[in-house]
Chains A and B, each alone.
Chain A
Amino acid sequence: MTPHAGTASVSLRDVSVTFGHHRVVRDVSLDLVRNRVTALVGPSGCGKTTILRTVNRLHDDTGGKVTGKVMVGDLDIYARDTRAELVRSRVGMVFQRPNPFPTMSIFDNVVAGLRLNGVRSKSVLREAAESALHHAALWDLVKDRLHSPAVKLSGGQQQRLCIARALAVEPEVLLMDEPCSSLDPIATAKIEELIAHLATDVTIGLVTHNMFQATRVSHYTAFFLLGEDRATGELVEYGPTQQIFDAPLDPRTRAYVSGEVG
């Protein structure tokens, strides 16, 4: 019973996302490797977040049309008979700005996902909350005030709470959309450490506009840019992080990485 059992890898093949008449990102093919951190980097507006959100089908709500194939493990998540809610209980997400439920306590926030998915047993909830809070490096801080309001935590702590909330559902994949962009450097460092530790148990997809963050925490990197039409984002290069930053194959990647562009 190794901790690695049950995680999945994610593969995207020729994925494009269109809103109305505007194609936001096109023909993306990449993998989120099992139990590794894959960073999606690039300037703003190139479709990194849009691609990330295809993996948990969040575009169902926003009216974005997704074409191509997205597999989580061996599940085709856009297949006709696949239920989006079940996909989302296997693929968790942490957002750019911490969004704990403002009317709930810390405990209720952490177990919110479990409750939403039908888990009632108090003992299971308590165990899961403790475990998740440990993994988010929050347990010692909040263990004596689990029922105090979540909004009383600082920004960085709230983000770790959101990570705990996502982890409590035991997802196979964790998507993180610029999780540190609204946090100060110390909080950011804490979360980066967290990400590095979590990778052994969860497959992580991380969108970041900070390429140094990518070098620090990720094993694989996907580099996005706006295409020549200046309207549609595309994947320029994808590979092991070391290679992308030390020996990029595409000249555009080299330019971005060495700071000439963006």
Chain B
Amino acid sequence: MAPTLLEEVPPPRLTPVGGVKEALQRRSARPGGRAYTVVRWSGAVLFAAIVVALVVSLLASSSQAFAHSGLSFFWSGTYNAAKDIYPTGVFILGTLITTAVAIILAVPIGVGTAAFLSEFAPRWLATPLSVAIDLIAAVPSIVVGLWGLLVLQPIFTRHVEPFMKKIPVLEWFFHGPALGPSMFLAGTVLAVMILPTIVALSRTSMSAVAVEDREAARALGATRWQVVTTAVVPGARTGIEAAVTLGIGRAMGETIAVAMVIGNNYALPHSLLSPGATLGSAIINNFGEASPGLDRASVIGLVVVLLVLSALVNVGGQLLMRARSRVVGATT
């Protein structure tokens, strides 16, 4: 999802335009008016039909798998014809781990970048830099995956991951051999992909903090950085949280790039250097070979699990933000 798309187009003013409805009541009976109405409603109906069809078909196609395994599908998966389990629980764990790595990497870097662009960079520098960062979002995930596989993986295996093993605090996360595909590499690739989202939204929120709040801090004797920590970041917090939630959603839903670098291993990962699998990568790697019937239904079941997980995280994030704002007392 490229947030820049809607920024390109002027923001909508949601004022109802049909205000002169009464005066036109008579006119809409004319042939031209009716055709126009038909056109509009067809568009709406078609779209609605597709949305409904999407939901229904996914549920229907996976129903066989859920019927077979019941709710246990959500953690232990189901048997395919060859009596191999799709260990959904392992996939979910993989999704969570890679997403966590992505967030840990992308949020500090993204918020720091946003702070610089919003608060310290002169306008002539900030604009081209933001455009450049947004461009990453435009790169197709397959290309990012290819780069991750053929360029990043050798570098990580040979240099980065051995280096991470040496850092005292992180040792536990990085034990084991660096074999190539790894969850850490997948998490890093995801971080690259969600960074533009986090930077763009954080930057917008920071710039939106009122100049009065900044002046208040300044007038009390704050240094420029103190203005950022006292007035800007707290004021932008809801926006930053929204950015993080969006980033999490994007990271969890990414399939192709992760599938190329994570190694498709179904054992429980023992460290960040293990190869593994996420819901997305498992779907990609199994869809093609899954024979119609329970097999295929199970893979589509994984799609449903992914959607449910994303929805849960999204809703959870929104609830958290709403609860927080109630405590603080309605701000912007």
Please list the residues of chain A having a beta carbon within 8 angstroms of any beta carbon in chain B.
Answer: 56, 58, 61, 85-86, 88-89, 92-93, 95, 97, 99-104, 112-113, 116-117, 148-149, 151-152, 162, 165-166, 169
B221 touches A99 (CB 8 A): no
Which residues of A are found within 8 Å of B328, using beta-carbon distances?
Answer: 103, 149
Instruction: Point out the residues of chain A lying under 8 angstroms from B217, CB to CB.
Output: 101, 112, 116
The answer to the question of B171 belonging to the interface, with a C-beta cut-off of 8 Å to chain A, is no
Interchain CA distance A148-B210 in the complex, whole Å: 22
**B237 at interface by CB-CB < 8 Å:** yes
Partner of B213, one of A58, A99, A148, A166: A99
Nearest CB in chain B: distance from A87 CB, A: 8
Sampled A-B contacts (27; CB under 8 Å): A58-B215, A58-B218, A61-B215, A85-B223, A86-B221, A88-B220, A92-B219, A93-B219, A97-B212, A99-B215, A101-B217, A102-B213, A102-B331, A102-B332, A103-B234, A103-B237, A112-B217, A112-B230, A116-B221, A116-B222, A116-B230, A149-B328, A151-B330, A152-B329, A166-B219, A166-B220, A169-B220
| Per-residue A-contact encoding for B235-250, CB less than 8 Å = 1, 0 else | 1010000000000000
Interface residues of B in 84-117 (CB under 8 A from A): none
Query: Which residues in B have their C-beta under 8 angstroms from that of A149?
Result: 328-329
Assess whether B218 is in contact with A103, with CB atoms less than 8 Å apart. no
Min CB gap A61→B, angstroms? 6
A125 shortest CB reach to chain B, Å: 14
Provided the pairs A102-B213, A116-B230 are in contact, do residues A89 and B220 lie with their beta carbons within 8 angstroms? yes
A61–B214 CA distance with the chains assembled, in angstroms? 10
CB 8 Å contact bits of B10-42 with A (1 = contact, 0 = none) = 000000000000000000000000000000000
CA distance A151 to B212 in the complex (A): 14
> A interface, by DSSP: helix, strand, loop or mixed?
mixed
**Chain B CB within 10 Å — which of A99, A103, A113, A166 has the most?**
A103
Which residues on the B side are within 8 Å of A103 (C-beta)?
A: 234-235, 237, 328, 331
Asked if A95 and B212 make an inter-chain contact with CB atoms under 8 angstroms apart, the answer reads yes
Chain A residue contacts of B231, Cβ below 8 A: 101
Contact of A148 among B212, B221, B329 (CB under 8 A): B329
Are B329's CB and A99's CB within 8 A? no
Q: Smallest Cβ distance from B3 to chain A, in angstroms?
A: 24
User: Is the beta-carbon distance between B220 and A113 smaller than 8 angstroms?
Assistant: yes
Q: In the complex, what distance in Å separates the CA atom of A85 from the CA atom of B219?
A: 8
B226 within 8 A of A: yes
Is B216 interfacial (CB 8 A cutoff)? yes
Chain B residue at smallest Cβ distance from A149: B329
Interface positions of B (Cβ within 8 A of A): 210, 212-213, 215-223, 226, 230-231, 234-235, 237, 328-332
The answer to whether A101 and B329 touch across the interface, beta carbons within 8 angstroms, is no
Indicate which residue in A86, A88, A148, A165 contacts B218 across the interface (CB closer than 8 Å).
A88
Min CB distance, B233 to chain A, in Å?
Answer: 9
Contact B221 A117 (CB under 8 A): yes
> Closest 4 interchain pairs by CB?
A149-B329, A113-B220, A89-B221, A99-B212
Q: Which residue of chain B is the closest to A151 with respect to CB atoms?
A: B329
A100→B234 CA distance, assembly (Å): 13
Query: With A and B bound together, what is the CA distance between A56 and B218 in angstroms?
Result: 10
Instruction: Tell me if B221 and A88 are in contact (CB < 8 A).
Output: yes
The reply to whether B215 and A95 form a contact with Cβ atoms under 8 Å apart is yes
A129 to chain B, nearest CB (A): 14
A101 partner, pick from B219, B221, B230, beta carbons under 8 A = B230
Q: Is the CB of A58 within 8 A of B219?
A: yes
Known: A88-B221, A99-B210. 4 other contacts (CB 8 A): A92-B219, A99-B215, A102-B331, A152-B329
> How near does chain A come to B68, taking the closest CB pair, in angstroms?
51
Bound Cα distance A169, B226 (Å): 16
Least Cβ distance of A1 to chain B in Å? 25
Q: Is the Cβ of B220 less than 8 Å from the Cβ of A112? A: yes
Contact of A116 with B220 in the complex, beta carbons under 8 Å: yes
Q: Please tell me which one of the listed residues A86, A88, A148 contacts residue B219 in the complex, with CB atoms under 8 A apart.
A: A88
Residue of B nearest to A113 (CB): B220
Contacts of A117 in B (CB 8 A): 220-221
Note all chain A residues with C-beta closer than 8 A to B330: 151
Name which residue of chain A comes closest to B233, CB basis.
A103
Q: Least Cβ distance of B49 to chain A in Å?
A: 45
Q: Tell me the complex Cα distance, A85–B226, Å.
A: 11
The minimal Cβ–Cβ distance linking B219 to chain A, given in whole angstroms, is 4
B214, closest chain A residue (CB): A61
Separation of A92 and B222 alpha carbons in the complex (Å) = 12
Name the B residues within 8 Å of A92 (CB-CB): 219-220
Instruction: Indicate if the CB atoms of B329 and A165 lie closer than 8 Å.
Output: no
| Chain B residues whose C-beta falls within 8 Å of the C-beta of A93 in the assembled complex | 219
A85: which B residues are within 8 A, CB to CB? 221-223
B226 to chain A: which residues have CB within 8 Å? Answer: 116
Contact residues in B for A95 (Cβ distance below 8 Å): 212, 215-216, 219
